[in-house]
Amino acid sequence: MGQIELKQVTKSFGDVQVIPPLDLTIRDGEFTVFVGPSGCGKSTLLRLIAGLEDITTGHIEIDGRDATDVVPAKRGLAMVFQSYALYPHMSVRKNIAFPLKMAKMPQDEIDRRVAAAAQVLNLTDYIDRRPGQLSGGQRQRVAIGRAIVREPAAFLFDEPLSNLDAALRVGMRMEISELHKKLATTMIYVTHDQVEAMTMADKIVVLQAGNIEQVGSPLELYRTPRNTFVAGFIGSPR
């Protein structure tokens, strides 16, 4: 399961409201992309969902249960960080196992999950290497592996590919889409890149200054942008 509902959620930093009242439903299994220009509130929204920021007013429900005051580790969601968040002194195996070790999971269960994640991500041959001995794409896959082993209800990605070069970015986009097909788990993916949004999303949420301008499939946004901002951002002929 992985349905996430935001109900009249707002976020202020001091006196500045960066998210005005916002309602959004993310359906189980959907690949949802938050897209919009820098500073529009994409990361803040993702961090509110993850529980890394407290919401100011409103509610978040995960699979029908109120998660507004639930700590991040208990929400059943996994944030995927950029690959530079890996531990350089640990093997791929230990990097991927790390969150399960922290959770004091039995070693045989850890081994089973790490092996399954390595298989899905084609990392089996590299399992005993350290991050420094891997390519950029392999490192990013290890970072994703750390999320997979937790078997989360949803994956949360915040511009995970922004520090990769252009060619690698295209490859990783396809790999993440492929992973979504294999796992069929809810994924929320933040990007400021329209091409990334249009090629990866089942559903796109277009944000501007904390407001949702439109929610729809890539084709819907392309064919029937609700306003000139969406049209301009998506690059559709309105």
Number of residues that bind Mg ion (CB under 5 A): 1
Strand partners, 204: 33, 216
**Euclidean distance between the first and the last CA atom of the chain, given in angstroms as a whole number:** 37
Q: Note whether 206 binds ligand ADP by CB under 6 A.
A: no
Q: Note whether 87 binds ligand ADP by CB under 6 A.
A: no
Min CB(53)–Mg ion separation in Å: 12
At position 90, the amino acid (one-letter code) is M
> Which stretch in 35-43, 55-63, 148-156, 221-229 sits in contact with Mg ion by CB under 5 A?
35-43
Return the residue matching tokens 């109900």: 7
Q: Note whether 49 binds ligand ADP by CB under 6 A.
A: no
Return the residue matching tokens 């298989």: 119
Q: Note whether 70 binds ligand ADP by CB under 6 A.
A: no
- Cα distances (angstroms) measured from residue 102 to each of 52, 97, 125: 18, 9, 25
Strand partners, 79: 156
Given the complex with Mg ion, which of 35 and 77 has the nearer CB atom? 35
Identify the residue among 7, 17, 18, 170 touching ligand ADP (CB under 6 A).
Answer: 18
∠ CA 103-123-97, rounded to 5° = 10
∠ CA 4-10-16, rounded to 5° = 145
User: What span, in angstroms and rounded, lies between the C-alpha atoms of 190 and 43?
Assistant: 7
Q: Note whether 43 binds Mg ion by CB under 5 A.
A: yes
* 3 state DSSP class of 25: strand
Min CB(190)–Mg ion separation in Å: 6
Q: Looking at residues 132 to 191 of the shown chain, list those that interact with ligand ADP (rule: CB under 6 A).
A: none
Q: Note whether 2 binds ligand ADP by CB under 6 A.
A: no
Residues 23-42 as x/- pattern, contact with ligand ADP by CB under 6 A? -------------x-xxxxx
Binding residues for Mg ion, rule: CB under 5 A, are 43
Binding residues for ligand ADP, rule: CB under 6 A, are 13, 18, 36, 38-44
